[in-house]
Amino acid sequence: MILYDASTIATAPFPDTEEGRAAKSFLVPLFQRGPEAWFEDRARMLLLGMDDLLIPLSLTDGSWNNSYLFSMYARYIASQRNAIKTGNWKPLAGFTASSALWGVGAVMKATRLDKVIQVDTWPSMRNMGANLTADQARRLTEFLTTRFPDHALVFMALNPATHSPLLNNLKGQGYAFSYMTHTRMLLPAGLDPGASARKLRRRDARMTETSGYQVLDGRDVPGCAPRLAELYRMLNREKYMTNPPNTQAFFEDLLQGTRIPLRLLVKDGRVDAFYGISVKDEVLYSPVSGYDLTLPQDVGLYRMLNSLLMMEAFDRGIAIETGGGSDPFKSLRGDRPLPRYNAVYLRHLPSYRHIAWRLVDKLGNESLLGFSRKRLREVDGEANVVGFDGIPETFAPPFLSPRESVALLNRELESLERDVEATANLTGKERTRHVVALHKRLEEEQLPRPRVARLRERLKQLEHDSQTDKKQRKKGPKDDPRADVARHLLEAATTVGGTTVVCHHLGEAPEHPPRTLAELLGKASTPTAVVLTATRGGTVEFATAATPQLVALGVDASALLTQLTADGPPQGGAELAWAEGSHPEDITGALERARGFLQTRLTAPS
């Protein structure tokens, strides 16, 4: 294992991939400038190289003024006391709760709660932690406790939807767990949000489309970092005092890299809102956002930000973690709550250092967890609040995992694409009914817009083809470009038992494929049997047709096709059938077998 610091971070072997380059663009300036430049926090940053992984670490020795990004004390004490100040607490109850937290915090300070190494810490970003194997978790723990024997090891904010394997492997290594807070997740498939949620999402999307705002890449708006810092401060430091103080330098450096692309809502040359996006293991989330609180609420900036983030995820066909807060709003749009845990390793520390963490466990697993459970059940309903009953024996996603949901969505899309293509084989009113039904499915389901656009275009083409075929049928065969070819085939046909028999090889890559000509010839008013072949490269195309009079006599197109050398069973039905083969050398023999079959069946005594 290798440790890189601020002086050597640029030499770390980041993989030459999109994700590797993005990680480097984020971590190198963070290490070189230090967390204080970005978050006003004090911590030492290290990068651990293990196997093919690069794992960022932060070391602190008790900086009590840090934000919750680098301080357990801030997470469990300072941020909770700030929440009491900004919440709807009655004065006496608020004072009592805040004083109790202050007393607990004093014990935590005395027993050095914040002398820790946070493992896989990506400040301001969630879900970045690698799902270490059991062996990797063991080796990492042994290495860090040997190298830093006075520091507790902490994995922060792991949720069971994305990191159940890691949680279970850490438990196997003797880590303890404390509830930290909840987050929320919306899956692309597998959890039906209901008609009401879909209606709200569509309404939010229409509001965004008609708002007059442009959504621009932050890199295309020079000099926007001061405005982004201002919008962030309005929302996250003035309205919500519990969030970390991201600086202007943070936004300046983000705009130079690619790890957190920034989207800006711009109207009349003014940036009124923004959000960042990050994607990891089939989950999108927003590490940073802000909007102008001086604008009227009916402008709907928060609704637009939420809708745009959803569409970022939906268009990729992946899940979105929307975070905690605004639970009633998010619940109405189909989000589900998830617990988030901190995992801590203490076995190498003296017993007095365990006191602070026992207080953390009590505060998190009893007070905070109980409060979250009660509040979320009021918002989401008891059936939708899963995993908030305590630390489980085995961690597992409380519903479909993001990876399972994405796989399900892809199967649904592939099925939909197959249904669209199958519609191409239908004709007349049957095709029209299927096209209408498919349009309705595309309208009702929340699917990736790029793939939906392709499907809509295909359905539009099928509708156009249906109209063209309808017009051609009205004009009659003489106006059909296939009519001349069909006429020549009929002129060369033979008659067997009162039935016209068209049995012909069309050659290499004819202008009109066998199937289209067979379909036309099969509409004849007199008994007609059709067997046509053609080649395209090394592939043989077969098509057969039988008019209804022959089908009634037991001579159908599918039976006729079985006389040919096709690869696999025929497609189609009794009046029109088709298939492909891979033996062009047998075309003459195949046609002879078809003629013999018809001669036998059409001249047999009735």
Q: Give per-residue pLDDT as tens, 360-397.
A: 898 889 888 999 999 999 999 999 999 999 999 999 99
Residue 475 — very low, low, confident or very high, per pLDDT cuts 50/70/90?
low
Taking residues 579-604, report their average pLDDT.
88
SS3 state at 517: helix
**Measured distance CA(18)–CA(515) in Å, rounded:** 47
Instruction: Kindly report which listed range (223-227, 306-310, 570-574) carries the lowest average pLDDT score.
Output: 570-574
Whether the predicted pLDDT of 478 surpasses 70: no
Whether the predicted pLDDT of 56 surpasses 90: yes
Whether the predicted pLDDT of 453 surpasses 90: no
pLDDT for position 477: 47
**Contacts for 4 with CB less than 8 Å, ≥ 6 apart:** 11, 12, 31, 46, 47, 49
**Measured distance CA(144)–CA(591) in Å, rounded:** 78
Amino acid at 594: A
pLDDT for position 469: 64
Taking residues 197-204, report their average pLDDT.
90
Instruction: Kindly report which listed range (46-55, 383-392, 463-472, 512-521) carries the lowest average pLDDT score.
Output: 463-472
Enumerate the domain spans of the chain.
2-384, 416-475, 481-603
Residue 292 — very low, low, confident or very high, per pLDDT cuts 50/70/90?
very high
What is the residue-averaged pLDDT of the chain? 89
pLDDT for position 604: 75
In terms of pLDDT, which residue wins out, 462 or 168?
168
**Residues 456 and 481 sit within 8 Å (Cβ to Cβ):** no
Q: What one-character-per-residue DSSP string does 398-426 give? A: SS--HHHHHHHHHHHHHHHHHHHHHHTT-
Alpha carbon of 403 to those of 19, 169, 183, 430: distances in Å? 18, 19, 18, 37
pLDDT in tens, 160-195: 999 999 999 999 999 999 998 999 999 999 888 888
pLDDT for position 470: 65
Taking residues 254-281, report their average pLDDT.
92
**Can 2-384 and 481-603 be said to share one CATH topology?**
no
Give me the percent of the chain exceeding a pLDDT of 70. 96
SS3 state at 2: strand
Residue 452 — very low, low, confident or very high, per pLDDT cuts 50/70/90?
confident
Taking residues 527-541, report their average pLDDT.
92
Mind spelling out the 3-state secondary structure of 523-586? CCCCCEEEEEEEEECCEEEEEEEECHHHHHCCCCHHHHHCCCCCCCCCEECCCEEEEEECCHHH
Q: What one-character-per-residue DSSP string does 239-302 give? A: I-TTS----HHHHHHHTTSSSS-EEEEEETTEEEEEEE-EEETTEEE-S-EEE-TTS-GGG-HH
**Measured distance CA(540)–CA(538) in Å, rounded:** 7
**Measured distance CA(213)–CA(197) in Å, rounded:** 24
Taking residues 331-359, report their average pLDDT.
93
Burial 317-355 (b: 16+ CB within 10 A, else e): bbbbbbbbeebeebbbbbbbbbbbbbbbbbebbeeebbe
pLDDT for position 606: 55
Around 351, how many Cα atoms within 13 Å sit in the side-chain half-sphere?
A: 0
Q: Which listed CATH number (3.30.750.24, 1.10.8.640, 3.30.70.20, 3.10.310.40) goes with 481-603?
A: 3.10.310.40
Whether the predicted pLDDT of 118 surpasses 50: yes
pLDDT in tens, 257-267: 888 999 999 99
**Measured distance CA(328)–CA(326) in Å, rounded:** 6
The structural architecture, per CATH, of the domain 2-384 is 3-Layer(aba) Sandwich (3.40)
Whether the predicted pLDDT of 39 surpasses 60: yes
pTM: 0.72
